[in-house]
A = this chain, B = another copy of it.
Amino acid sequence: MSLKVYLSGEIHSDWRAEIIAGAEGLNIEFSSPVTDHGASDDCGVAIMGAETDKFWHDHKGAKLNAIRTRKAISEADVVVVRFGEKYRQWNAAFDAGFAAALGKSLVVMHGADHQHALKEVDAAALAVTETPQQVIEILRYVLTGSLPK
């Protein structure tokens, strides 16, 4: 058994690297959005030409990023969505809804302070976690049946 896991959401901490390192040795193929904030914001105009209007500047970039994220979510078995402490992170919630509608196994990660605001997202998830370590343990259990000591 192998898993494809998409890591969606917060891009300002190293939670992805932590999970990928902790899952070493497991048969998992990870994917992520482009996590270079500047590249992600400006990719559309950098390649297809500048826009004077910020809306279209962002629009071109967001659509270009969608080529990557939609493929990765569509192919994933498990979609992990992390909500950090800062920013509105509507794209994380959007990814969670997208993944839920496709019937993907959704794992959500967030702090206790966001519990009430994320209740609809949590209700669609098969696991609600707080730390990368818990996600690692989930992935290990799903693939091997082994629980943490």
Contact = CB atoms under 8 A, between A and B. Distances in A.
Q: Which of A51, A66, A68, A123: most chain B CB closer than 10 A? A: A123
Q: Which of A56, A62, A102, A143: most chain B CB closer than 10 A? A: A62
Interface string A61-74: 11111111011100
Interface of A: 1, 3, 31, 34-36, 39-40, 42-44, 46-48, 51-56, 58-68, 70-72, 77-78, 83, 87-103, 105, 107, 114-124, 126-129, 134, 137-138, 141-143, 145-148
9 contacts: A39-B145, A47-B129, A48-B129, A48-B134, A52-B53, A64-B142, A67-B77, A68-B142, A90-B117
